[in-house]
Chain A
Amino acid sequence: MTVTEAPKIVTSRIEFDDSNTIERFLATGGYDGLRKALSMTPEEVASEVNAASLLGRGGAGFPAGRKWSMLRKADTTYLVVNGDESEPATFKDHLLLERDPHQLIEGVVIAAYAIQAAQVFIFIRGEMALGIERVTQALNEAYEYGAVGHNILGSSFSVDVVVHPGAGAYICGEETALLESLEGKRGFPRIKPPYFPAAVGLYGEPTVVNNVETMSNLPWIIKNGGAAFAALGVGSSTGTRLFALSGRVNNPGVFELEMAKTTFRDLIFDKSLGNGIKDGKALKAFIPGGVSAPWFGPDQVDMHLDQDEVGKAGSMLGSGSVIVMDETTCVLRTAWRITRFFWRESCGQCTPCREGGGWLEKVLWRLENGEGREEEIDMLMDVCDNLAPGVSWPPQQTTICVLGSSIPSSIASAIRMFRDELLIHVKEGRCPFD
């Protein structure tokens, strides 16, 4: 048995076809967590979440409770939910938005109560039309049920929730760019400091920005207690987490697993999870946490899905998306495609990212097509060094946000792990996988 018997915390309903309806939600304990939260003080709710040591599930892994406690004291505080899931190969929030929108709304109102937010905005990626429709529908039902709006569930707490559609820009997942977008502007990340929207956020007011999955954990935490959540997992990696598996596996999908108990080998090869590599091929490399993360090789496959363990090994769990490459995969082409993505999605404010990304993409494309020279491999590293000095992990930053410093990860990984393969492209004047 490689998968633990941990309870399903955020995906308990998705086996039902009608998991998005309020009928199914109420029949399966929906809004009980909110009812309990409203019988507690906001401080007690926050301390349960602290006790759970719930790490943000968006990518940075910052403790949610600590984010709340950093709020500047002010008359107006906002809660913004980051549902702009755009990190390539990450598709867990997509599932939660479409399949359990009421769970999200319940979590959102619990958080709004804990921080006494004046208003909540759920920012949903514009590409997720069905998700936007499902959450809007659920919100209408929640207002009617009394779980949102005036005197929620008979308490004296009132809050409004607004579904805000994005319009297609990866950078809006960066929380300050998201706030700019929510203010009706181009999605330009804000200059830091101030580092945290908790000090200066939406319209300059203190704002908490939390991820969809983070919010979706709150009903369970309040119902069962922070200690029960913290009892799952290992060390600071508590609870369960959604892992999105994609690439060259037989059974790609989103799996809710107890934190830090499952290894990458289990995730990729277990019959109930990834069910092995397509066509029985050999594992070549995998990306442990979204395309911003440095890659791992087959010798690291027994590492646990643990934020600390992966961090110590020089990469990150990030958004929880694992991408699998097999022996038929051209790593140069993969690095090129990832670089092309970052270049296209650069907001253009900072020169290293705007220009560096484009040049890296061009050189990688030339190499992939057999038109590159050997010294260009070193030149790639030199450009990467301008983007993120030292090309180490975690990366040094030369730009306003971390998009620019994320570009070198895949290129440096491909060169470090597969320099010979890159050289074959140069020597043979073609891609050996074509």
Chain B
Amino acid sequence: MPHLSEDVISRARALVALYPKPRSALIPICHLAQEQDGWLRPEAIEEIADIVGVTPAEVLGTASFYDLLHTEPVGKYVISLCTNVACMLSGAYELLEHSEKTLKIRAGGTTSDGMFTLEEAECIADCNNAPCIQVNGRYFGKLSKSDFDKLVEDLRNGNLDDVVPPHGTLCRIRRAVGLEAVNGTAARPAQRSRRGRKK
């Protein structure tokens, strides 16, 4: 019985078919595994390795390089609070201190009920809304301390379930077409001949 669900495995195989070489699908498939589990479980890593044709150590070695791929459990909501320069100039460290008090954890920690992980993030490219945060990759900007507390309350009560999916869900839109749209079969583009231009 595989750990990854049938749906995840079939989506993973569809991803592999999109690339000239299977290993290119490694990181996108890690995202899918996180969508299922919230983090990268060892069982998932083994199956990803099988799917893309590398060793589990190579999957872990790659995944551990990246901030968004978690090799340890995280909360249902990962709050990434930007403290980089634009946010810092708008009070991000004061907000971070406040959020640590509200959640009763330090940055890097997870609340005991498993609801929230708090991270100090690097610039998340939303500087016109500084100080800004992401919750599971979804933006919330121009946050005052009381805005932050309300956000935490709303998340806890499930008021934002439409906006913020559980941790790990990156893209809720699925690709509608595979490479057969071009090839007729799912052949590798590297094997295709150069296509002619319009006369």
Interface residues of A (CB under 8 A from B): 38-39, 41-42, 75-76, 85-91, 93-94, 113, 116, 118-119, 125-130, 132-133, 136-137, 139-140, 143-144, 149-150, 155-160, 162-170, 181-187, 203, 205, 244-248, 252-254, 291, 321, 323-325, 329, 333-334, 337-338, 341, 344-345, 347
| Number of B positions contacting A (CB below 8 A) | 64
Partner of A91, one of B63, B128, B181: B128
The answer to whether A126 and B68 touch (CB under 8 A), given A87-B123, A157-B198, A329-B89, is yes
B80: shortest Cβ distance to chain A, in Å? 8
B67: shortest Cβ distance to chain A, in Å? 3
A388: shortest Cβ distance to chain B, in Å? 20
The answer to whether A167 and B67 touch (CB under 8 A), given A160-B181, A252-B130, is yes
- Chain A residue at minimum C-beta to C-beta distance from B136: A129
- Chain A residue at minimum C-beta to C-beta distance from B129: A252
Known: A157-B198, A337-B85. 11 other contacts (CB 8 A): A93-B125, A116-B195, A126-B68, A132-B171, A133-B171, A155-B198, A157-B195, A166-B66, A168-B67, A254-B128, A337-B84
Partner of B69, one of A119, A139, A168, A254: A168
The reply to whether A157 and B61 form a contact with Cβ atoms under 8 Å apart is no
Within 8 A of A (CB), among B30-52: 30-31, 52
Chain B residues, Cβ within 8 Å of A118: 189-190, 192, 194
- Give complex CA distance A162, B19 in Å: 8
- Give complex CA distance A8, B5 in Å: 47
Partner of B127, one of A89, A159, A185, A325: A89
Give per-residue flags for B162-189: 1 if the beta carbon is below 8 A from chain A beta carbons, else 0.
0000000011111111010110000001
Provide 27 A-B residue pairs closer than 8 Å at the C-beta atoms, listed in order of the A residue.
A41-B197, A88-B86, A89-B123, A90-B127, A94-B125, A118-B189, A126-B66, A129-B137, A132-B171, A133-B171, A133-B172, A136-B175, A143-B181, A156-B197, A156-B198, A165-B171, A169-B66, A181-B27, A184-B24, A184-B26, A187-B66, A244-B128, A291-B85, A323-B85, A329-B89, A333-B88, A341-B85
Answer yes or no: B23 CB below 8 A from chain A CBs: yes
The reply to whether A129 and B170 form a contact with Cβ atoms under 8 Å apart is yes
Chain B residues, Cβ within 8 Å of A203: 20-21, 190
Chain B residues, Cβ within 8 Å of A347: 65
Partner of A186, one of B65, B175, B181: B65
User: How many inter-chain contacts with C-beta < 8 Å in the A-B complex?
Assistant: 207
Answer yes or no: B62 CB below 8 A from chain A CBs: yes
Chain B residues, Cβ within 8 Å of A155: 197-198
The reply to whether B84 and A88 form a contact with Cβ atoms under 8 Å apart is yes
The reply to whether B128 and A253 form a contact with Cβ atoms under 8 Å apart is yes
Answer yes or no: B117 CB below 8 A from chain A CBs: no
Chain A residues, Cβ within 8 Å of B65: 169, 186-187, 347
The reply to whether A185 and B171 form a contact with Cβ atoms under 8 Å apart is no
Answer yes or no: B83 CB below 8 A from chain A CBs: yes
Chain A residues, Cβ within 8 Å of B103: none
Chain A residues, Cβ within 8 Å of B189: 76, 118-119, 160
The answer to whether A165 and B31 touch (CB under 8 A), given A118-B190, A252-B130, A333-B88, is yes
The reply to whether A158 and B86 form a contact with Cβ atoms under 8 Å apart is no
Residue among A126, A133, A184 with max Cβ neighbours from chain B (10 Å): A184
Residue among A41, A129, A325, A329 with max Cβ neighbours from chain B (10 Å): A129
Chain B residues, Cβ within 8 Å of A39: 198
- Give complex CA distance A160, B61 in Å: 30
The reply to whether A167 and B30 form a contact with Cβ atoms under 8 Å apart is yes
Answer yes or no: B28 CB below 8 A from chain A CBs: yes
The answer to whether A183 and B23 touch (CB under 8 A), given A129-B170, A150-B181, A337-B83, is yes
A243: shortest Cβ distance to chain B, in Å? 12
A135: shortest Cβ distance to chain B, in Å? 9
A433: shortest Cβ distance to chain B, in Å? 12
Answer yes or no: B140 CB below 8 A from chain A CBs: no
The reply to whether B85 and A89 form a contact with Cβ atoms under 8 Å apart is yes
A317: shortest Cβ distance to chain B, in Å? 17
Chain A residues, Cβ within 8 Å of B134: 127
